[in-house]
Amino acid sequence: MTTTLDGFWNARRGEAPELPTEVPEAWSFGATPEQADELLGLVLRGVKDGTASSLWDYEAMGDPLPATGECSIVTDGAGVPRAVIETTDVRIVPFDSVGAEHARAEGEGDRTLDHWRTVHEAYWREHSENPRGFEPDMPVVCERFRLIWPTSTSTPTPTAETLPPTVSA
């Protein structure tokens, strides 16, 4: 994977030399390959420009929190690098205080806060990486981002046509 990430990042830097020299963190959305592909598809279609994570999961895994201005490589469900995003905002709020605007930004389902709360509660109950799991007032890292690559003038590697069809969660 390192060679693939290095090659992917070098190609992106060839197109945009202002990008950082160091290869950024690579990750996928969700907890399953199917979720990764579905959510990546929303990003590539311009529907999704927000995501949410459990602060407790970051703490349990010892991972650094996202920071405004940093880039990330987003991979598909097979671990193939497919997109570059830049974090534009990070806020930590209690689950029960996440607002409708953030729910809309995540682009999932009908994009309502009710849908967001139902889906995310179920997600953290099933996939949490910390022993506390889900609590209605748990701290949630609400991240906003912008898609840097692919742009409307670039061709993703591999092409968007190779993405699996969108599946319903």
**Could you tell me the domains of the chain?**
2-151 (3.10.400.10)
What pLDDT does 151 receive?
85
Residue whose C-alpha is closest to residue 47's, from 124, 145, 139: 145
153 pLDDT band, cuts 50/70/90, is low
155 pLDDT band, cuts 50/70/90, is low
pTM across the whole model: 0.86
Counting every residue written for the chain, the total comes to: 169
* Per-residue pLDDT reduced to its tens digit, 89-132: 999 999 999 999 999 999 999 999 999 999 999 999 999 999 99
Bond preceding residue 64 cis, omega within 30 of 0: no
What pLDDT does 168 receive?
38
DSSP 23: P
Residue with tokens 């139902």: 118
Centre a 10 Å sphere on the Cβ of residue 122 and count the other Cβ atoms it contains: 12
Beta bridge partners of 91: 142
Looking at the chain, list the stretches that DSSP marks H as alpha helix, in order from N- to C-terminal side.
2-15, 33-44, 55-61, 100-106, 113-127
pLDDT greater than 70 at residue 167: no
